[in-house]
Amino acid sequence: MSIADKTASVQRRGTSSPLFKSLKRLIAGLASVLLTMVGLLFVTFYIARVMPVDPVLAVVGERATQEMYEAAYKAMGLDQPLIVQFGLFLQQVVTGDFGMSTLTARPVVDDIIRVFPATLELATIATIIGVVFGVPMGVIAAVNEGRWQDQLVRLVGLFGYSMPIFWFGLMGLLIFYGILGWVGGPGRLDIFYEDIIPPVTGMILIDSLIAGDMTIFWNAVSHIILPASILGYYSLAYISRMTRSFMLEQLSQEYVTTARVKGLSETAVIWKHALPNVMIPLITVIALSYANLLEGSVLTEIIFSWPGLGNYITNALLSADMNAVLGGTVVVGCIFVGLNLFSDFLYKVVDPRARGK
């Protein structure tokens, strides 16, 4: 074998090594995430610029003189070409600077850090509710396909999909707070409990436990249980439907028939053999449901006066506070990308067959 052939053979072995393949996948994944984020930033920035609102007026006010308006217009870089404006915006985002909020007169980053834990707390509890109830309901529906249990689960899911979430919120407040008095009203706490415990995580349930104040903890529970249950019901409807679909596919596989022929109990076949295979694709479903709750709880937060990210973005949009809108949108995009990457990681951890792909 000549030296050239040996060199080519070494190069082929190097490019086919597991380390090289892992490095190649890592670079490709990072490039994909980077392109996705840049595309998200550009689309968001462009929409903000073409919207029929004047960000200059939001800063200087409607009574400003023409000279003040033009000075602010130039100071904000709006006299530059759109691509130049986007480049300046990209530089700010990379350094973690989203500018100042005209609504709160504080840096947008500080506002997001302040409001995001409320949304995180609400969406996390709602997702837990959706998983704890949605997965067993989907399994029961698949095992009893065509029977009354299946029809009942499908009806519950259909009702959750069909009814507007703001209607659920209003009816929940009317019945469980206004009439029965079983839960707390709008907001995260009763007004006389606010600003008592020191903020550590920004999530009142955790902070009250850290402070050892069970009175505030149970007051926070009474306020969060209704909006979390409403969002959890929406998540439950989606997760139960997908679980049912995945289970029906698995129950028709040959390994399930083989397990039954060997004499395994139906409980063991369903919960020990079929369900673990269902959990592999279900991880992605749960992650996407969680992301949807983190960014899609706007109406719930408005109805319950929940001081979270959705409420913050909505108020910013109504006030033409485009820095806050852009900052909140970028955070939502990062959440989606991050949870997708996390679900891919869990997918490979749970399913060894996916590790080499």
Write out the chain's pLDDT in tens, 357 residues: 555 555 555 455 555 566 666 677 767 767 777 787 788 778 877 777 777 666 777 666 667 777 787 787 777 777 777 788 888 888 877 787 787 887 787 888 889 989 999 999 999 999 999 999 999 999 999 888 888 888 999 898 888 877 888 888 888 889 999 888 888 888 888 888 888 888 888 889 999 999 888 999 999 999 999 999 999 998 899 899 999 998 888 888 888 888 888 877 888 888 888 888 888 788 888 888 888 887 667 778 888 888 888 888 888 877 777 788 888 888 887 887 777 777 777 766 666 555 555
| CATH number assigned to the domain covering 108-354 | 1.10.3720.10
pTM of the model: 0.80
Distance from C-alpha of 100 to C-alpha of 106, rounded to nearest angstrom: 6
> The tokens 């997708």 sit on which residue?
340
Q: Which helix (H) or strand (E) holds 303?
A: helix 298-303
Position 86 scores a pLDDT of 82
User: SS3 string of 36-103?
Assistant: HHHHHHHHHHHHHHHCCCCHHHHHHCCCCCHHHHHHHHHHCCCCCCHHHHHHHHHHHHHCCCCCECCC
Residue extents of the structural domains in the chain:
3-94, 108-354
- Contact between 126 and 304 under an 8 Å Cβ cutoff? The reply is no
- Contact between 170 and 87 under an 8 Å Cβ cutoff? The reply is no
Distance from C-alpha of 276 to C-alpha of 250, rounded to nearest angstrom: 10
Q: 49-88: string of b/e by CB count within 10 Å (b at 16+)? A: eeeebebbebbbeeeeeeeebeebbeebeeeeeeeebbee
- Contact between 87 and 42 under an 8 Å Cβ cutoff? The reply is no
Distance from C-alpha of 83 to C-alpha of 89, rounded to nearest angstrom: 10
Position 126 scores a pLDDT of 92
- Contact between 274 and 250 under an 8 Å Cβ cutoff? The reply is yes
